[in-house]
Amino acid sequence: MENRWYQAGLSFSCTRCGNCCTGSPGTVFVSPPEIKKLATAVELDADAFIQVYTRTLQDGATSLRERSDGSCALYDPQKGCTVYGARPRQCQTFPFWRKVVASETAWDREARQCPGMNRGSIRPAHEIEQTSANDGTLSSARAKETRFNPPSAGRPPR
């Protein structure tokens, strides 16, 4: 591994504030296996889940839907993520996304919206490297559209 700006590791501990699941609309990519898992979690078959909870993006990729207030359709203000154990990889890997760990500036910008960043346990650089290489945001081009792009908040993991 080459020498990264986060060589000493980065700390993160989710506060469950919900910022990343609410706010401005964004994109949460879901793959067919993730759809299957999510459908099981909400007790629907995959086709019904696709109809109710997803939308198709211009490039053909599938994203979770948002409500009119921009919150994820699977977010409950009282309970948080209602599919936590089945949440998509993109949600699991935040904030260790390629585009977020790309530079200290990008990390600091994201941290303004995610109070869990820069606190709690330290993730070692090699782990960050592995996670960001497979962060669930698909291509870096698609990652630009993701929900966690400022000014919207991020989205995920607790």
The contact set with ligand SF4 (CB under 6 A) reads 14-21, 28, 64, 72, 74-75, 81, 83, 87, 91, 94, 114-116, 153-157
11-36: string of b/e by CB count within 10 Å (b at 16+)?
ebebeeebbbbbbeebbbbbeeebbe
Residue 45 phi, psi (nearest 5) = -85, 165
**Nearest distance, CB of residue 5 and ligand SF4, angstroms:** 20
Q: Nearer Cβ to ligand SF4, position 3 or 68?
A: 68
CB of 37 to ligand SF4, least distance (A): 11
Minimum distance from residue 90 beta carbon to ligand SF4 (Å): 7
DSSP structure class, residue 19: G
Q: Which is nearer to ligand SF4, 116 or 149 (CB)?
A: 116
Nearest CB to ligand SF4, comparing residues 4 and 158: 158
25: amino acid identity, one letter? P
Which ranges in 10-56 belong to alpha helices (H)? 32-41, 46-53
Whole-angstrom distance, CA of residue 13 vs CA of residue 27: 23
CB of 7 to ligand SF4, least distance (A): 23
Residue placing its CB nearer to ligand SF4 in the complex, 3 or 78? 78
